Each structure stands twice: as C-alpha cells, then as structure tokens.
Amino acid sequence: MNSKNRFILINLMAFEFVLLNLVLIIYVFFRHPEFSFVNSGSVLNILVLIAIYNVSWLLISLYIRDNDFYLTSGYDSLKILIKCLFFFIGFAITLVIILGITFLNRSTFVAPIFIFTGINFISRKYLLRYLKKRGSHLFSDILIVGSGYKAGRIRQFSKRVSQYGYNTVGYLDGQQEKPKNVLGLGIFGDLKNLTKVLTENTVDELFIATAGLDHSIIEETITICDSFGVRVKLMPSNPLLMSKNCKAVLIGDMAVYRFRQSRLDYYSQTLLKRFFDVGFSVLVLILGFPIFLLVALLISLDSKGPIFYTPLRKGEGGKSFKCYKFRTMRVGDDPLNGSKSTVKNDPRITRVGKYLRKMDIDELPQFYNALIGEMSVVGPRPHRIKLQDDFRESVGNYMVRSYVKPGITGWAQVNGWRGPTVTKQQKSERVRHDVWYIENWNFWLDLKIIFLTVFGSHHKKAF
C-alpha cells in the first residue's frame, strides 16, 4: 500500500470513528436525559460506552473486513456492512457482560449500532462520490506497461481500477512500434522510455500486463522501478481473465487465478443454499403430500404403469442420479439410454399427464432429490445423458453447468428457454442463462427465480 492509498484509508476510517462516537453520544443524551456532562458518574459511564464501541469497531476494521471495503460501493459493501453489524453487536454485548455494565438496558447498547451502520452505508456513497470528483489528486497515479494493448482494453482497465483509488496517467507499450495515444493520456510511448518517464513524472505504481512481454523485459522493468522506488504490480492480460468472475487466490506462496468464480465457491454460501434446499423441500413435501396422493391416484386410474418415472440424469461433477417425476406418458424411454425428446401433441402423453406437465406438477417429486442432496431447488435443469452429449458437441461451455447441482427450476426456464432444444439459438441461450446464473448467484436471485416459477408466464411453453 503506497502513501496515497494509506492516507485515503486512514481518513475514511477516522470519519467512521467520528460518526460512531457522535451517534452514540447523541443517542444516549436524547434517549436518557438523566445523563449530564456536569455529573462525574454520567461522564464516566459515557466514557466506558465510548471505549466499548470504539474497541469493538477497531477489532472489526482490523480483522473482519479488508481495505477494499472503503473504496467499493453497492451490493458487496452492503453485504460486508451487514456482517460487520452482527459482529459489532456480538463484540459490544460481550464486553458489556464481561465488564458487568448495568446502568443501561440492552436495547440502548444495540440501537446506536443499527443507526451507525445505516448512516455509514448511506454517507459512504456520497463521500466516495466526492473523493472521486473533488479529491482525485489524492488517488495514486499509475502507469500501465503492456504489449499490443488496444484502446478499449486500457479504457476498461482504467475505469475498473479508479474505484480502488487509482488514476491511470499513461501507457507504455513493449512493442517496437510506437502506439497511438487515442485516449489522450499524459504519458504514452515505448517501454524503452521508462527511465525518462519516471524521471520526469510522478508515478506512484506501475502495472505490468505480463502476457506478450518477454521474461527478461519484465525483470528489467522491475529493476528500473526499484531504482526509482516505484511499486510494481503484475497482472494477467488475457481478455478472458478481464472478468469479475476471475479471482486471484494463494495456494501456499503461489498466486493462481480461478476462472468463472461463483459465490457458491465459498463454503458459507454453499451451506446457506443447502440449508434453504432442505428447509424448502421439507416444507413442500409435507404441505404437498395430499396433492401427491391425489396425483398418484389419478395416474393409476388413467393408465397402467408405475406412478413415478425415474430417468437417469447427470448432476454436479458429472455424477448420475435417478431424477424422480410423476409419470405422464403411456410408454416412456429407457431411463438409462432414452433419447427421444417430448414434442408438441406427443401421442405418448396421457390425459392426466397433459395437465401435470402444463402446470409442472410432474416435477414435484424432485423435491425429494433436493432433500437428499442430488439436486437443488434452483439451478440448471438436468438433461438426458444423450441430450447432454449433443449439447457438449454444439455448445462449447455447456459443461460449466456441472459446476453446481442441477435445479428443479432455473434462470433459463423462467426466462422462457425451456422445451425444445432443436435450434442452435435454443441450445446456446439455455446454456448462456445457466452460466450467467452460476457466475452471478446470490440468495435473493434464488428467491426471485422461485417467485417467477410460480407466478411467471413461462408455463405457456410447457407441453
């Protein structure tokens, strides 16, 4: 972290502590008018409260969240703030119990924490906006070094790093041919001019896009930067890696990049989704039991055969499992080697099966699959083995769907991509929606998909 980054972070942290103490003091004196600055007992109690709150928030700032929190906004910062809120309450209540404080009730201890969190979230948005517009001189000036970078890539990178406190002031190309300064950057030219550039300009950090540059050139660039005291950051420049879903992680002391990163790669989020699957499945199976009995009776009366149809499907990691459905056809495909897809006005569909399929009631037994962990309530729909082989040949990233458990309903289905998979568009759009779901998953998205499954218009395409 360079001095400019440190200056911004220290000031943002100081703002939070000032806000915290103001909220606490104002709340106590409005909520408890018996407190007075002229009363030594009241002053001592206030100081004890201030100490508890400040120590708690200091622990959270140092150990619960990282530095990027101060320079990001939106959903990620809200999620971190909510996590900090619960830790804050836990720390504060723990210290209150240990110190045996009894001069205020528990609600008085907790309420200022909620008020501070809310004001902090709202004010940070405007504070960051002010810093980016009025305090850009406080941001770190960076120079990009690469080979054959296009203007669009430089613009994209500059925009992305600006939210982390960086101003892109120039670009030096490792190729011999001098690039065109189409973005109007203050510094532009060949990499051989690096020494002159660092001598004549103030550069806080240098980002090296390693792809396309020889190892010897990278080493020489780092040596020059070291001689000027300019910090260096190495980054991949493969277009596929310029994605929010590519995350750098450490394995031992080696940096690696995980592509198509999903929140479901985090253990806590996987547990959350699993707990929801179990709870929701148990609820549906219990409340829907009378419906299951009625459907089973209607199927038995309508045509001969078993109540359930259990074709083999591919699940997470390519594992096969029996997918439970209410039987809707007189003659079904071989559960293992079935290859015939359902078509409109399919003569195999029974009278009862027609209505079960139209209302998706035939899929309800799959909540048992979700309960035992073979499926999830929401996820990419499982396909027949033969159909999967066809998709793998025609859609390149199809198997990305196997990163997660298949679902009873999914993002592709509620967006209308269900039913036939004959055309190239039908196949590619279904896969594209499934991959988008995996890369952008969050708990609220699952709830939205469930809502659209029940109340959406996608059922019209069912047959």
Per-residue pLDDT reduced to its tens digit, 277-324 = 999 999 999 999 999 999 999 988 888 888 888 888 888 877 888 999
Q: Let me know whether 181 and 217 are in one domain.
A: yes
Q: Let me know whether 341 and 207 are in one domain.
A: no
Q: What percent of the chain has pLDDT over 70?
A: 76
Q: How confident is the model at residue 174 (pLDDT cuts 50, 70, 90)?
A: confident
Q: Let me know whether 130 and 146 are in one domain.
A: no
Last residue of a domain, one of 116, 134, 152: 134
Mean pLDDT of all residues in 385-404: 73
**Torsion sign over Cα 216, 217, 219, 220:** positive
Q: Tell me the C-alpha distance between 143 and 98, whole Å.
A: 52
pLDDT(416) > 90: no
Pairing of β 254-258 and β 205-209: unpaired
pLDDT(257) > 80: no
Q: Is residue 261 domain-resident?
A: no
Last residue of a domain, one of 242, 276, 296: 242
Average pLDDT of the chain? 79
Q: How confident is the model at residue 66 (pLDDT cuts 50, 70, 90)?
A: low
Max mean pLDDT among 171-175, 318-322, 396-400 falls in: 318-322
Q: Is residue 254 domain-resident?
A: no
Q: Let me know whether 275 and 380 are in one domain.
A: yes
Domain encompassing residue 426: 267-461
Q: Tell me the C-alpha distance between 350 and 362, whole Å.
A: 12
Q: Let me know whether 115 and 180 are in one domain.
A: no
DSSP string for 87-109: HHHHHHHHHHHHHT--SS-HHHH
* CA-based nearest residue to 119, from 51, 28, 21, 33: 21
Max mean pLDDT among 85-94, 98-107, 335-344, 382-391 falls in: 85-94
Q: Tell me the C-alpha distance between 94 and 86, whole Å.
A: 12
DSSP string for 105-145: -HHHHHHHHHHHHHHHHHHHHHHHHHHHHH-GGGSEEEEEE
Comparing 11-15, 136-140, 272-276, 343-347, which segment has the lowest mean pLDDT?
A: 343-347
pLDDT(67) > 60: no
- Looking at per-residue confidence, does 6 or 206 come out higher? 206
- Looking at per-residue confidence, does 170 or 240 come out higher? 170
Mean pLDDT of all residues in 150-171: 78
Q: Is residue 257 domain-resident?
A: no
- Give ∠ CA 189-175-210 in degrees, rounded to 5: 100
Q: How confident is the model at residue 240 (pLDDT cuts 50, 70, 90)?
A: very low
Q: How far is CA 275 from the centre of its chain?
A: 18
Q: Let me know whether 63 and 127 are in one domain.
A: yes
* pLDDT at 463 (0 to 100): 47
Pairing of β 247-251 and β 187-190: unpaired
* pLDDT at 267 (0 to 100): 74
Which whole-number Å values give the CA distances from 216 to 45, 173, 174, 197, 347, in the listed order?
64, 15, 12, 20, 70
Q: Let me know whether 380 and 236 are in one domain.
A: no
Q: Please check whether residue 362 is in contact with residue 404, taking contact to mean a CB–CB distance below 8 angstroms.
A: no
* pLDDT at 398 (0 to 100): 72
Q: Is residue 181 domain-resident?
A: yes
Last residue of a domain, one of 134, 169, 192: 134
* pLDDT at 179 (0 to 100): 63
Pairing of β 376-378 and β 312-314: unpaired
Q: Tell me the C-alpha distance between 365 and 374, whole Å.
A: 12
Q: Is residue 251 domain-resident?
A: no
Which whole-number Å values give the CA distances from 3 to 164, 221, 316, 406, in the listed order?
14, 22, 47, 48
Tens of pLDDT, residue by residue over 116-125, are 988 888 887 7
Domain total for the chain?
Answer: 3
Tens of pLDDT, residue by residue over 179-195, are 667 667 777 878 888 89
Q: Let me know whether 172 and 274 are in one domain.
A: no
pLDDT(241) > 60: no
Q: Let me know whether 167 and 213 are in one domain.
A: yes
Q: Is residue 424 domain-resident?
A: yes
Q: Is residue 252 domain-resident?
A: no
* pLDDT at 290 (0 to 100): 92
Mean pLDDT of all residues in 330-343: 58
Q: How confident is the model at residue 245 (pLDDT cuts 50, 70, 90)?
A: low
Q: Let me know whether 238 and 276 are in one domain.
A: no
Q: Let me know whether 195 and 282 are in one domain.
A: no
Q: Please check whether residue 185 is in contact with residue 204, taking contact to mean a CB–CB distance below 8 angstroms.
A: no
- Looking at per-residue confidence, does 390 or 136 come out higher? 390
Q: Is residue 144 domain-resident?
A: yes
* pLDDT at 408 (0 to 100): 92
Tens of pLDDT, residue by residue over 353-370, are 888 888 888 899 999 999
The domain that contains 158 carries what CATH number?
3.40.50.720
Residue 210 burial by Cβ neighbours in a 10 Å radius (0-12, 13-18, 19+): middle
- For 147-150, the CB contacts below 8 A with 24+ separation are 147/173, 147/174, 147/175, 147/209, 147/211, 147/212, 147/213, 148/173, 148/175, 148/212, 149/173, 149/179, 149/209, 149/237
Q: Let me know whether 327 and 233 are in one domain.
A: no
